Structure 1
Amino acid sequence: MSEQPCSLYSLCINVAVTDCVTLCRFCKKEFRILPDNVLFDFYYKMYTEKRLCLLGVEYSELEVFNRMLKVKHKRSKLLKSFQSLIDHGSNVMEELLLSYTKYRTGSEMITMNVIDTGLKLGGFLNEGGWYNYSIEILNVVEELCKRKGKNANLLCKLLDCYHKRLHAESVYCMFKCAEDTFELALSTRDELDKLNAVPNLAGLYANISALFFVRSEYDEAYQWALKSLKLLNDDLPPRIVIEVLRQASKSCVVKRRFSQAKLLIHQAVGLASHLYYNDHHPCYSDALMDYGYYLLNYDTIKESVKVYEKALAVRKEIFEKNNVHVAIGHEDLAYALYVNEYSSGRFYLARENADRAIRIMDKILPKDHLMLASAMRVKALILEEIALDLRDGTRLQEQDQLLLEAEQLHKSALALSHSAFGEHNVQTAKHYGNLGRLYQTMMKYDEAEKMHLRAISIKEQLLGPDDYEVGLSIGHLASLYSYHMKRHRSAEKLYKRSIHISLKLFGVFYSGLEYDYRGLIHVYTELNDIANMVHYTHIMREWKFLRESHETSNAFPERLESLNTVITEFLKMC
């Protein structure tokens, strides 16, 4: 089938770009008379023609770039071309920041347009994952708002500034700054309340939930997510609605409220797909990432891998490779592949994705940034499993090297987590547990026991005795006692407790039950307790049959429900 001919409009754009570059007569003044959407297409053609130096000069002018930010329906193309300038070595972000920072000390009159420009630019930089620059821009916006006065309109602008900055600081792991912004946002909300001028706070409350979520304070994350959901309505921008649904779903996942999480994330992905799919928008990718998170935690692992792969493909299409969104996509896919291939031993694709995540983060983040801790943890888990596959004795040196590298990664991740969160935090406890498993593999059994006990203690204090994370650590300690330290009675109690937690949270189909059932069978075999060994062997067979016949349904509804219907149904489940 022959290609469709170019439209007259496209031909004009092509000729204009070719003419201005080839004949070296780019007349800025004349071209900038064009409407915003036409000028955008002109600049995007520069990008596709690889005229990046000229495009960088244009985008470095704040007034010009502000016009491009107004073309909202082509945001993915703007992000894509902007990332290409960064990869090309352009200092476009520095130039825009410098231009906007001049308002801080300049004598120019601060207008609402200037403040709006800063808010739009800060929001755009957030979307692209350039959080440090976003924070700098929004710091200036805060100063300008405060200099201009304290009427209701300005306070609303200030609250919007805090909303966007809180998101950037939370994702970028600037937790002390985020805590300060959180307090300032609530104070500004209270001032607006006195003026009876409080705007809809659903988006802000979702970002507050996200702050508590990344700090592993899951009860608070869930409560703020509930507040944000109750404020949703059809008058809000779809982007805000999707963000609230996504964050609330993640908060439900960590509280093991899977029915609620499924309802919300299905709506978020469906809405994002309906609005953005043809444009391959980052909003759609973000919704897919959170859907993958739900699937992975709900024990639908193969499906989660497919969803993560799709989300990463969208991100790579927009940002190519040197971007934090792409790095996180590789990291999450690496972990899903690791879990999916746990029984097969085929970990090399998982390792490749983990390596890519770390390489990108090393390139674009400050040294020892906390984001690296999670990626290093994933890679260390993968290396440990690869090392275990070398137990035949022919490649002992390679095995030792892998285990030592894994230990170094785990210790580095623990140090970063401890520095950011302190001892009493779920993330820190996870790193202790990971070290415990590694030391078990390395036959350092006393050190392994200490790590597992520390992990269990922290998790129990923070999450209670029947949380999934507690059950996971208890199962690991049971394995250590059963297979290596010959403390079979202690292992028996721990396995039964782990099974109780799994059944309570996930039901009889949960895949993790296999390891506990196998462990108990081993315990009773070692104790020569034939009756219990036979009993749990029978339970194990029943579990295998149930697991194979069980199909978890995660099919999307044939049509999107109304927002009000979804919220009403969600609240019924509370």
Structure 2
Amino acid sequence: NTENLLTELDCLQRLLFAQANFCQFRDADTTYRAIVMLIDLVGADNIPKSLLANLYLQISVLFFARSEYDQSYHWSIRALTNVAQETIPDKVVIDVLLQAANSCVVKRHFKKANLLITMALTKTRNIYGRQHQKYADALLDYGFYLLNVDAITSSVEVYMEALEIEIDIFGSMNLLVAVAHEDLAYALYVREYSSGKFATARNHVESSINIMKKLVPTNHLMLASAKRVKALILEEVALDSIMLHANNDHHELLQQSEVLHKSALELSLEAFGEINVQTAKHYGNLGRLYQSMNKFEDAEKMHQRAIKIKTDLLGPFDYEVGLSLGHLASLYNYHMKKHIDAEALYLKSIQISLRLFGNSYSGLEYDYRGLCHVYESLENTDKYLEYSRILDTWRILRQENDDGNKSVFVELREDTTMEEVTKKFFDMCSEPSNEVISTNTT
């Protein structure tokens, strides 16, 4: 009867939650298909909205974990349509808001993500207080949002707060604490990319790995993710060592980094296959590493493979595509002397960055500096002077636009209802919008 089927659906959504969060994707796919079949059998109109929202939520989480972002966004929006009523439990509402916000971030719908994460933080803080696991969850997702809109310093601060809360609640030996260490390590790595001060980032990622080694199998994707972050950090430490002529440790560091990256790639291929964003990221990481190891042809192949996969999956104007274009441009520019090819790639990467983030985006510095080097090598003085001026203007904009400004929330009253938020969200969906988060003062 219907009551039994509803109980089965509730059990299945709980099972899917566990499977997706622990990266058991084959089993999760079976559970997902069973859920969809039962929803069709019972009829969505006959399922309580709180349960239906939870079902759609867990399906979105599964696709997000598999880097299938179109599907994740689709299911998170379906979940959002079912939580406008005030009778829906607060935990369900908050979880749906957070997942929908994450889905918007990876789709680069930053203004919509801002609206949802603001409401989630407000509700979580008011209902649970600032020392609750649910608030830490919300902070981790907010840190993810901030990192993606280039508010890097604010992101680090938010991740630190989340980590402190989770350690207070769970102690140091906990999987959620390990994930928070990894998230913070990556944000610190991004923040210190130009300074070379990676000691704190390295400490956090090693804490993450040490915890995970005791709690998950050695071939687990969660451990592979943390090792990927460590590999990125080790590579930068090695490059700094080369620049400073400090010692010969850089050879060993680069070899360690290669082992970590290859291991992560193999696990990604096993879990997701070749045509997946995570797999493409691993190819890109290997491309950068091989460039550092002076294996330029290998680096070129890795970057080209990453660009192809990302473009096919995400389209030609996605942030991930721009990132890989910039990396291949750097290889051509500084090592393979293919300056004309490098110029075209830099210009495409700049176009993507300006379109998504505006003209004070931190990543533009590397492309502008790269173009200056291209035009200097080509002895094109006019273009060299043009991009030198653009780079100077960018530096001024970075100084004027304090990182903290990018965390400005959508204005929401304390008594704003979910009905108002969902209406605002779907109004935004129907509007032609420029998704750039810009803090320009000029």
The residue identity in structure 2 corresponding to 1:559 is: R
| Distance (Å, rounded) in 1 between the aligned partners of 2:58 and 2:117 | 17
**2:413 is the alignment partner of 1:559:** yes
Q: Which residue of 2 aligns with 1:154?
A: 4
| Distance (Å, rounded) in 2 between the aligned partners of 1:307 and 1:248 | 19
Q: Which residue of 1 aligns with 2:375?
A: 524
1:223 to 74, 97, 109: 74
Q: Which residue of 1 aligns with 2:106?
A: 254
The residue identity in structure 2 corresponding to 1:175 is: F
**2:423 is the alignment partner of 1:573:** no
**2:134 is the alignment partner of 1:287:** no
8 Å Cα contact 2:353/2:363 also seen in 1 = yes
| Distance (Å, rounded) in 2 between the aligned partners of 1:380 and 1:286 | 26
TM-score by length of 1: 0.72
8 Å Cα contact 2:181/2:208 also seen in 1 = yes
8 Å Cα contact 2:149/2:406 also seen in 1 = no
Please give the residue correspondences for 1:495-510 in structure 2 after superposition, counting only pairs within 5 Å.
Answer: 495-510=346-361
The residue identity in structure 2 corresponding to 1:160 is: D
Q: Which residue of 1 aligns with 2:432?
A: none
Q: Which residue of 1 aligns with 2:40?
A: 190
Please give the residue correspondences for 1:3-152 in structure 2 after superposition, counting only pairs within 5 Å.
Answer: 151-152=1-2
| Distance (Å, rounded) in 2 between the aligned partners of 1:572 and 1:545 | 36
Provide the aligned length of Structure 1 versus Structure 2.
Answer: 422
**2:100 is the alignment partner of 1:245:** no
1:213 to 25, 42, 64: 64
SS at match of 1:283: helix
TM-fit CA distance, 1:392: 4.4
**CA displacement, residues 501-531 of structure 1 (integer Å, 9 cap, x when unaligned):** 1111111121111110000000000100000
Q: Which residue of 2 aligns with 1:199?
A: 48
Q: Which residue of 1 aligns with 2:29?
A: 179
| Distance (Å, rounded) in 2 between the aligned partners of 1:396 and 1:461 | 42
The residue identity in structure 2 corresponding to 1:271 is: K
| Distance (Å, rounded) in 2 between the aligned partners of 1:264 and 1:197 | 27
TM-fit CA distance, 1:190: 2.2
Q: Which residue of 1 aligns with 2:184?
A: 333
| Distance (Å, rounded) in 2 between the aligned partners of 1:554 and 1:334 | 20
Task: Report the identity percentage.
Answer: 52
| Distance (Å, rounded) in 2 between the aligned partners of 1:204 and 1:283 | 19
**CA displacement, residues 284-336 of structure 1 (integer Å, 9 cap, x when unaligned):** 11111000000000000000000001111111111112211011000000000
- Quickly say closer, same or farther: Cα 1:339–1:393, change in 2 above 3 A: closer
TM-fit CA distance, 1:199: 1.5
**2:202 is the alignment partner of 1:351:** yes
SS at match of 2:195: coil
**2:284 is the alignment partner of 1:429:** no
| Distance (Å, rounded) in 1 between the aligned partners of 2:40 and 2:243 | 66
| Distance (Å, rounded) in 1 between the aligned partners of 2:162 and 2:303 | 34
| Distance (Å, rounded) in 1 between the aligned partners of 2:243 and 2:367 | 25
8 Å Cα contact 2:136/2:166 also seen in 1 = yes
| Distance (Å, rounded) in 1 between the aligned partners of 2:208 and 2:125 | 26
TM-fit CA distance, 1:394: 4.1
The residue identity in structure 2 corresponding to 1:259 is: K
SS at match of 1:510: coil
- Quickly say closer, same or farther: Cα 1:394–1:510, change in 2 above 3 A: closer
**CA displacement, residues 392-446 of structure 1 (integer Å, 9 cap, x when unaligned):** 4644421111111111110111111111011111100000000000111111111
| Distance (Å, rounded) in 1 between the aligned partners of 2:309 and 2:173 | 36
**CA displacement, residues 131-183 of structure 1 (integer Å, 9 cap, x when unaligned):** xxxxxxxxxxxxxxxxxxxx222211111111111111111111111111111
SS at match of 1:390: helix
The residue identity in structure 1 corresponding to 2:121 is: V
The residue identity in structure 1 corresponding to 2:58 is: N
Q: Which residue of 2 aligns with 1:51?
A: none
| Distance (Å, rounded) in 1 between the aligned partners of 2:32 and 2:26 | 10
TM-fit CA distance, 1:558: 6.5
Q: Which residue of 2 aligns with 1:144?
A: none
| Distance (Å, rounded) in 2 between the aligned partners of 1:428 and 1:213 | 14
TM-fit CA distance, 1:191: 2.5
| Distance (Å, rounded) in 1 between the aligned partners of 2:261 and 2:151 | 27
Please give the residue correspondences for 1:403-422 in structure 2 after superposition, counting only pairs within 5 Å.
Answer: 403-422=254-273
| Distance (Å, rounded) in 2 between the aligned partners of 1:452 and 1:321 | 38
Q: Which residue of 2 aligns with 1:268?
A: 120
The residue identity in structure 2 corresponding to 1:515 is: Y
Give unmatched runs, 5+ long, in structure 2: 430-442
- Quickly say closer, same or farther: Cα 1:260–1:558, change in 2 above 3 A: closer
**CA displacement, residues 102-126 of structure 1 (integer Å, 9 cap, x when unaligned):** xxxxxxxxxxxxxxxxxxxxxxxxx
| Distance (Å, rounded) in 2 between the aligned partners of 1:246 and 1:183 | 24
| Distance (Å, rounded) in 2 between the aligned partners of 1:264 and 1:394 | 48
| Distance (Å, rounded) in 2 between the aligned partners of 1:396 and 1:435 | 24
8 Å Cα contact 2:67/2:277 also seen in 1 = yes
Larger radius of gyration: 1
The residue identity in structure 2 corresponding to 1:264 is: L
| Distance (Å, rounded) in 2 between the aligned partners of 1:519 and 1:213 | 34
The residue identity in structure 2 corresponding to 1:465 is: P
TM-fit CA distance, 1:275: 1.1
TM-fit CA distance, 1:344: 1.0
The residue identity in structure 2 corresponding to 1:270 is: T
**CA displacement, residues 222-279 of structure 1 (integer Å, 9 cap, x when unaligned):** 111111111112111100000000000000000101000011011111111111125x
SS at match of 1:434: helix
**2:83 is the alignment partner of 1:234:** no
The residue identity in structure 2 corresponding to 1:155 is: L
TM-score by length of 2: 0.93
Q: Which residue of 2 aligns with 1:165?
A: 15
The residue identity in structure 1 corresponding to 2:385 is: V
Higher relative contact order (CA 8 A, sep 6+): 2
| Distance (Å, rounded) in 1 between the aligned partners of 2:70 and 2:279 | 18
| Distance (Å, rounded) in 1 between the aligned partners of 2:111 and 2:354 | 16
SS at match of 1:545: helix
The residue identity in structure 2 corresponding to 1:471 is: G
| Distance (Å, rounded) in 2 between the aligned partners of 1:392 and 1:567 | 52
The residue identity in structure 2 corresponding to 1:199 is: P
| Distance (Å, rounded) in 1 between the aligned partners of 2:107 and 2:237 | 32
